[in-house]
Structure 1
């Protein structure tokens, strides 16, 4: 009898301990804390570059959780960056300089794409000289698109004050103006450009801003349109994650350029506003490609020098020093 009781007690104790251990393990799973990483990009090509990462919710590193944020305009993103709410962001390249000069807490890790803006028109226009006396739409006053256009006009000895520029915050605002004929000429980026020309065949592509920049500056690759910046505090505390994220972003961009039949659906699912059917086609002239900063320092230095010569405010009041560049471990 005692033996039976002893065996019964042993079974009860073992079951209790096992249940207790399982419950503890379940609680540990429930209470596991992830380090959240806020990653942001404006709607359009910058957001497309990280579409695969966001859609597939790819794990960069254990115990980290990425929050991908698509801002409707570069201006909205700028506000969050200046308040240092974002850990990693893809921004207009001159905004990267402004963020560094204003906060001293964001470093350039590389470019996500060279120039993808094009001069388009439904009028009889063949060159920049034909813009004099006309209303011309553009995106982002004080940001990369304006700076590039103004520098090109200056290099061509064209008085920009004789052109009536109409600035809006995003391509989503610019495209309806062109489709309704409110304006007939504008500087439009991909992928919005492909969506535009698919709806109105009378709108023609006149010039590539990237090609024009090459011509007037002698820069072989053109200009860095979108720049990946990372908060310095975050880099110091999460070096392994940063290195892995750079690799994952490179793969995401390569995948997008190869899988043009799939990228549109990915973009649709994560909330990118461009019509998903034209996104694959738009990548042909989007210049979407990640280049690490170690291979782009001279281009950025020269680019910021050119912008500062036109208006020092476009880079935040002073040329950024070498501290702006991320250095791999």
Structure 2
């Protein structure tokens, strides 16, 4: 009995020791909160959300897909996100408010299209008509008005602009024929096109923006921001996760079937066939900030000229860029 008692004491000691060791390892693990909105931003990094590769030993990355932009804005403004993919003007407003985040790169360029249910339509056809859009005073609105103005349209007199609360509200009004002219982003465009055969694209707003401003990629739509503190503390981790993001955007085009499956499994709203179809016009492309400074400077300046509040009151200084 005495030998059994000694054995039990030793066994209990081993369990207690290993338990403490496990707890210590957990305590040392750094939690990184990665926020991404539903839609193209989440689609662009579906591979890493699904596969969860080890970015660097000692780190645990938690990926959160938010269904509304409001939740993304709240998370960033409160400093809850360590890494986030955000509407590009939010990168400016958050930086001008507290300077907590820097821009590391972009995963999505302009994917907005001016469409009509009428055939043989041109920009001139818009005069005297009603055009539906989202985001009054924000990127979709500003880009649309800038492009149309450059095309000779008097945006104050020639067109009646109407707005809805979000992309999900655009599809019903065009499918019901309430609207004949709409600005649609992907993957909503592919979704509507699958149900309405007579939908015609009048303008690719990103292509027009590129020509208008003599830039390579167009306007940044989905910006990667990272907490400045994280960049300072562990640049290797940051470099590693950016490389994984880039790989994910490349893979998205190489294996569209796999992409659609992953998106369904991680809870992205768009259905697999729509995601596969949307890739042709999605404009998903990773570009680091060093190679896209002109695009951001042009974008921020244009937004500031339109309404300074859209960028937080002023054009952000160079401190907003992770690398210059």
Q: What is the TM-score of this pair, normalised by structure 1?
A: 0.89
Cα distance change of structure 1 residues 173 and 69 upon mapping to structure 2, 3 Å threshold: farther
- Counterparts of 1:156 and 1:43, CA distance in 2: 32
Give 1:101 shift: 1.0
Match of 1:207 among 203, 209, 228: 203
2:148 maps to which residue?
153
Write out aligned runs for 1:100-179 (5 A). Answer: 100-124=95-119, 126-162=121-157, 163-179=159-175
Deviates more, 1:196-205 or 1:302-311: 302-311
2:17 maps to which residue?
24
Q: Do 2:130 and 2:161's aligned partners in 1 also have CA atoms closer than 8 Å?
A: yes
1:66 maps to which residue?
61
Q: Do 1:107 and 1:326's aligned partners in 2 also have CA atoms closer than 8 Å?
A: yes
Give 1:142 shift: 2.9
Give 1:19 shift: 4.4
Give 1:56 shift: 1.9
Deviates more, 1:298-307 or 1:84-93: 298-307
Cα distance change of structure 1 residues 118 and 46 upon mapping to structure 2, 3 Å threshold: same
- Counterparts of 2:39 and 2:310, CA distance in 1: 22
Give 1:217 shift: 1.8
SS of the residue corresponding to residue 157 of structure 1 reads coil
Q: Give the structure with higher Rg (CA).
A: 1
RMSD: 2.2
Structure 1 gaps, min length 5:
none
Q: Do 1:195 and 1:278's aligned partners in 2 also have CA atoms closer than 8 Å?
A: yes
Q: Do 1:74 and 1:169's aligned partners in 2 also have CA atoms closer than 8 Å?
A: no
Write out aligned runs for 1:56-95 (5 A). Answer: 56-95=51-90
Structure 2 gaps, min length 5:
none
Q: What is the TM-score of this pair, normalised by structure 2?
A: 0.91
Cα distance change of structure 1 residues 167 and 87 upon mapping to structure 2, 3 Å threshold: farther
- Counterparts of 1:197 and 1:215, CA distance in 2: 26
Give 1:21 shift: 2.2
Write out aligned runs for 1:1-329 (5 A). Answer: 13=6, 16-29=9-22, 32-33=26-27, 34-124=29-119, 126-162=121-157, 163-327=159-323
Give 1:134 shift: 2.1
